[in-house]
Structure 1
């Protein structure tokens, strides 16, 4: 992995380590081997340890004194609790997006939906970046920065827990259809319908994760 050059070394290390965690290259339950990861990223252990502390503050790693860091694994109770919070936040965001969206917001949402479908139909596993991009576009349309920040943290934890799951084509196609339905509700300016579409989508994702857990 090559680190980008436009950020500080500490920022680059955080981004690179987050990528390894969220893509499942360091899977849930695994320990972060500082020597191996530092060598892989081409950095010293100092910036890596800063990155570990940052990801621990985001609940993407668990840091134990004298034992290092590991990627957390989830219980079914953890999954349910995360989705209770995510549903409350993102249903509110969907309502606000339906009330505040512009034509540019709707165009961006449709663009991400189309790219997600093209990418998945091309044979790639459903890419977490495009999933996050879709939800970010919705949050941009909602124009509620405090909700957006909390959603970002919760979404990362959900992506982390999903990283170890097998690919499930029927579920992925249903999720893409959910996204399309949500965009239609936002474009129509219907807050109630947008909230209901988001609730349906998140319930589907939660059920799939619990079935695999």
Structure 2
């Protein structure tokens, strides 16, 4: 019998559910995952849950400690710097590739997600991680580099996790949305160098804001 792909299996569905709880901060950084309580909450047995926990640990969203179970990692300045070194290398390259390779449909998708993000925020709704991921995913789709996209997704998740319980002021949110619009303009103009530079500036600012929240001076 052929094994089901992870995304079609019960464990795969459980991965998605637990990932959402972690990324939204419902399971806070530093908190241990209570398997009994979580299995009851999700209406599943502990087998698929444990498989999902192992999978999320492999993505860096959970930390497994022998005989102590799993917990959500806390934000750490050194980890933030390391993650952004990798993210800058990957996403600046992706932005440049998107400017060279994008189609009209991919450009339209970038504009659609950016407009949705701004409309949600101006309506008083928080700028959710799903919209931020959607924008960066649209950019990665335009870059058409699956290997870069695969690695970026893992790094982005870990950054979102570290930000889940930190304050994010409106000035920072609007700056991020403005950065996205500048990226769209560079991609639309097929200016690879500018797209990479705008992405670098965007990620530098996000990193510095996050570091300021973790260890205020």
1:208 Cα deviation (Å)? 0.8
Q: TM-score, normalised by structure 1?
A: 0.96
Residues 23-172 of structure 1 mapped to structure 2, 5 A cutoff: 23-172=24-173
The residue that corresponds to 2:19 in the other structure is 18
Whole-Å separation in 1 of the counterparts to 2:190 and 2:39: 49
1:167 Cα deviation (Å)? 3.1
Task: Report how many aligned residue pairs link the two structures.
Answer: 208
1:18 Cα deviation (Å)? 0.2
What is the Cα-based RMSD across aligned positions, in Å?
1.0
Q: TM-score, normalised by structure 2?
A: 0.94
| Paired residue secondary structure (1:63) | strand
Deviates more, 1:78-87 or 1:116-125: 116-125
Residues 125 and 167 in structure 1, CA contact (< 8 A), matched pair in contact too: no
1:11 Cα deviation (Å)? 1.1
| Paired residue secondary structure (2:125) | coil
Whole-Å separation in 2 of the counterparts to 1:199 and 1:43: 43
| Paired residue secondary structure (1:164) | coil
Task: Find runs of 4+ consecutive structure 1 residues off by over 2 angstroms.
Answer: none
Q: Which runs of 5+ in 2 are unaligned?
A: 1-6
- Once the two structures are superposed, what CA deviation does each residue of 1:116-167 show, in whole Å capped at 9, x if it has no partner? 0111111111110010000000000000000000000100100100101113
| Paired residue secondary structure (1:25) | coil
1:65 Cα deviation (Å)? 1.1
| Paired residue secondary structure (1:51) | helix
Whole-Å separation in 2 of the counterparts to 1:155 and 1:194: 19
Residues 13 and 51 in structure 1, CA contact (< 8 A), matched pair in contact too: yes
Whole-Å separation in 2 of the counterparts to 1:70 and 1:210: 22
Whole-Å separation in 1 of the counterparts to 2:25 and 2:168: 13
1:35 Cα deviation (Å)? 1.1
Residues 105 and 137 in structure 1, CA contact (< 8 A), matched pair in contact too: yes
The residue that corresponds to 2:204 in the other structure is 203
